[in-house]
Amino acid sequence: MLLTRVSRRKFIRSATITGLFLPLVNQLRAHPQTVSRVPVRDFAEARWRNEWLQHAVLGGPSFDSFERIPGNPIWRGSPPLEWPVNGFLFIDPVSTDLFVYIGAYTKGYISKPSSCIGMRSRDKGKTWEHLGTILAPDPLLFDKGGHTPDVCVVYEKTDSNDRSPGVYHMIYDWGEADFNKEGGIGYARASKPEGPWIRDPNPITRNTTLPLMKGRYRRTYAATLIKRKNDWLITGMMDDAPHSWTLFVMTAARPEGPYSERKLVRDVRANYYHPPLLEFFPSFAHDGYLYAPATSVARNRNYGVLFRVPLEKATDESKWELYQDGSLWHADDKESEYEGLWGQTFSGQVDAKNVLWAMFPSRDSDNLGTIHVAKRYWDKPFRERGFVLNAHSGPALTLIRSAYGAFEMEVRVKLNGTARLIWDYEGTLGPENATSDSLVGKGADCAYSALEISDKRWEIISFDVKGKRRLEVGEQWVSEADRRFMLRRNEVGNILLRIDDDIAWRGSLGNVQGKAKVSQIGWWLEPRTHLEVLEFKISGSASPAKFWFDATDALLGAGERAAEWKEYTEGFRSAKGYLTVKKEHMAKWNVRGRRFTLWSPKGPEFGSVELLINGVPKAKINLNARKLTPSKALWVSDFFPEGGYAIILKPSRGAMVVDCLEVEQ
């Protein structure tokens, strides 16, 4: 039933002290079983940031406090170097000037030679001077005139007793015309940060001469040079693109080398919790720690993490920790940040005033790379309230890790695009493909109800288990930058919606059967949507939410090549499952929660699997049966302390099948 809308002015004029909430009183008479009065939790406050689901492909809200400096972007790509999509920020300790070294690529990366462009600011980012090409390929050196794009610069005081400027060390990516076939890491030095840079005639690494690691990693790139007490450390990346990326370290007595053998310190195929699809370049050191920010290279580009390790322990894999999971970065609603954080990740350095400066790359709507600078106080990483959720080239989805039956929500947002405030969510979470550039899987966009809002109208809608959309009610409206909503659902499932000060709708949805089920609540964003949530208050009786993660998510989480597995659809709770007969294959869900339930069908083709949590064997599960039986819960864990866990499946006997993991928060 759609009510006649009451204007805010008329509502206020007609209100009295006793009758101010008369419309709500009348509504409660029609719906006598109301939400019980329990403490209100505002999930837009930063203290509740970890209550939101974060996922490399689905995305996640960010409470980060980064602020852009005026004048962004400081550089925009143009032919023939349309994609300046990486870079390195350096604060010169001698002059205190800011330098940005831009990895300038042609569109598509390898069709034409790439080089490094320099920018300098003498006034803390107010104005920027173009320094031209800092480092270029040379046909007479090992790159053969190919590529020299991404660099890192470190200053070393060579003699503490004199006033000489010291030496600037640079390491950089190099590659031949096709750097996927030959390339590596090179070294150069200079007496000034703008150069000229003198390149060492021999590279630090040449990829074709390196032994293969874990059967998949060889190509070294995206390296950062760090000075330690008694040696020099390089952090760098290797990949098995588009499936997995890893972070390695190596050390040397001098910055030019020779360096030790590479040692993996972060890898999706390890036994610990490690979100997949992360690219790391560059790292930075501060106050005795080495920090490695990383950004997901899924289609959405709106999820990031920060790894940390004591600097002098950086070669010890066990000393690394996931210091911050999500809320690391957000994209502003600007044309120059059209694709979010597009490139590896941001480049950071903390100055003498405890300010973290960050260079970050993006792409605009014309597919040209853009370079920007932002900053925040190091010890204030989060805003007190309000978060941003972006959907760039693909949709985004996040859920609260608490569930509610009857509830009342008060929400205030700023929106550009189309967003859905969702409840009764029962979809299965995961990516469309187990590769980079993946979208949210189809199984995630089903089985929920929502208030959909855009600049033109609002609608109450629902989706069935197959994703078929049903319109319950809707109305056009005049777009406003700031919107307020109140959504109430009582114990029997009846709903009251208020927009600003006006009651917009009351009624029930077709899927209500006399009692409101425990509801998972969150946001779905359509592509090209920027949502800022200023207030998200919920009252009601809360219980731990339960999420289901599909089989594709398990292959993604292990860096597996899905093409080497056999797809199944019949009998699975997921939209599709996978089967393998290869002993070296594994499945791995990287999830946060407290209790885990493995779902799977049984069948004559299936064997048995071993289940491990953080590398510790927990169970062997027989999946063999005379005939195919539909998926059901086959194993349930004990309760664990809340945290991130690696839930791993490995073949034990015969063929291994992978379906779905239920995670209780």
Q: Are 250 and 263 in contact (CB under 8 A)?
A: yes
Whether residue 434 is predicted with pLDDT greater than 70 in this model: the reply is yes
* Contacting residues for 170 by C-beta, under 8 A, at least 6 apart: 135, 151, 152, 153, 154, 187, 188, 189, 190, 197, 225
> What pLDDT was estimated at residue 261?
97
Report the pLDDT value the prediction gives residue 480, as an integer from 0 to 100.
77
| Share of residues in the chain with pLDDT > 90 (%) | 88
As a whole number of angstroms, the distance between CA 534 and CA 389 comes to 11
> 483 to each of 348, 377, 507, how far by Cα in Å?
35, 30, 22
Rounded distance, CA 560 to CA 582, Å?
12
Looking at residues 440-447, what average pLDDT do you find? 96
SS3 6: coil
pLDDT at 241 over 70: yes
Amino acid at 321: E
pLDDT digits (tens, 9 = 90+) for 500-544: 989 999 998 865 455 778 889 999 999 999 999 999 999 999 999
Burial (CB count <10 Å: 0-12, 13-18, 19+), residue 145? middle
Phi-psi region of 352 (alpha: psi -120 to 50; beta: other; left: phi over 0): alpha
Structure confidence at residue 511 (pLDDT) = 52
113-156 per-position pLDDT tens digit = 999 999 999 999 999 999 999 999 999 999 999 999 999 999 99
pLDDT tens digits for 634-649? 999 999 999 999 999 9
Q: What average pLDDT does the structure give for the chain? A: 92
Q: What is the CA radius of gyration of the chain?
A: 27
Query: Which two tokens mark 42?
Result: 């505002």
pLDDT above 90 (res 158): no
Residue 407 has pLDDT above 90, yes or no: yes
The CA distance from 31 to 26, in Å, is 9
Q: What is the largest CA-CA distance in the chain?
A: 87
Q: Which residue has the tokens 């339960």?
A: 546
N-terminal to C-terminal alpha carbon distance within the chain: 36
488 — phi, psi (to 5°)? -120, 135
Q: Which domains does the chain have, with CATH numbers?
A: 8-61+391-544 (2.60.120.560), 67-157+166-209+217-381 (2.115.10.20), 548-664 (2.60.120.260)
SS3 content of the chain, % helix, strand, coil (to 5): 5, 50, 45
The tens digit of pLDDT for each residue in 172-208 reads 999 999 998 999 999 999 999 999 999 999 999 999 9
Average pLDDT over residues 71-94: 96
Confidence check: pLDDT of 489 > 70: yes
CA–CA separation, 357 vs 347, rounded Å? 8
What would the two tokens of residue 430 be?
A: 């995961």
Contacts for 96 with CB less than 8 Å, ≥ 6 apart: none
Is residue 484 within a helix (H) or strand (E), and if so which, with residue range? Answer: strand 482-489
Residue 160: per-residue pLDDT: 66
Helical residues (DSSP H) of 473-580, grouped into ranges: 551-557
pLDDT at 38: 60
Residue 164 has pLDDT above 90, yes or no: no
Dist CA 657 CA 304 (whole Å): 31
For residues 296 and 431, is the Cβ–Cβ distance under 8 A? no
Q: What is the mean pLDDT of residues 301-330?
A: 97
Per the rule left: phi > 0, alpha: psi between -120 and 50, beta: everything else, 222 is: left
Looking at residue 482, its pLDDT comes to: 87
367, pLDDT greater than 90: yes
Distance of alpha carbon 262 from its chain centroid, rounded? 27
Q: How many CB atoms lie within 10 A of CB 609?
A: 28
Q: CA separation (Å) from 284 to 152, 174, 376, 411?
A: 10, 21, 15, 38
Q: Which of 325, 281, 290, 277 is nearest to 304 (CA)?
A: 325
Question: What is the CA 382 to chain-centroid distance, rounded?
Answer: 16
Cβ(292)–Cβ(300) below 8 Å: no
Would you list the DSSP string of 225-244? EEE-SSSEEEEEEEEETTTE
Q: Hey, what amino acid is at 530?
A: H
Outline where DSSP puts E strands in 4-128.
41-42, 67-68, 75-76, 83-91, 98-105, 115-121
Tell me the pairing of strands 396-416 and 529-544.
antiparallel
Nearest one of 128, 124, 118, 132 to 96, comparing CA atoms: 124
Asked if the model's pLDDT at residue 282 lies above 80, the reply is: yes
226: Cβ–Cβ under 8 A, 6 or more apart, which residues?
Answer: 154, 232, 233, 234, 235, 283, 285, 290, 311, 314
User: Which residues, at least 6 apart from 463, have a Cβ–Cβ distance to it below 8 Å?
Assistant: 445, 446, 447, 448, 449, 450, 469, 470
Task: For residue 46, give the 3-state DSSP assignment.
Answer: helix
Q: What is the DSSP string of 122-185?
A: SSTTSS-EEEEEEE---TTSTTTT-B---EEEEEE-S-TTS----EEEEEEEEE-SSTTTSEEE
Measured between alpha carbons, how far is 129 from 120 in angstroms, rounded to an integer? 5
Assess contact for 419 and 531: CB atoms under 8 A: yes
pLDDT value of residue 558:
98
Q: What average pLDDT score do residues 460-466 get? A: 95
Tally of CB atoms within 10 A around 597: 17
Q: Calculate the dihedral angle through the C-alpha atoms of 580, 581, 586, 587, rounding to the nearest 10 degrees.
A: 30
Is the pLDDT confidence value at 351 over 70?
Answer: yes
Helix H, strand E, coil C: the string for 280-311 is CCCCEEECCEEEEEEEECCCCCCCEEEEEEEH
Which residues have CB under 8 Å from 415's CB, separation 6+? 453, 454, 455, 483, 529, 530, 531, 532
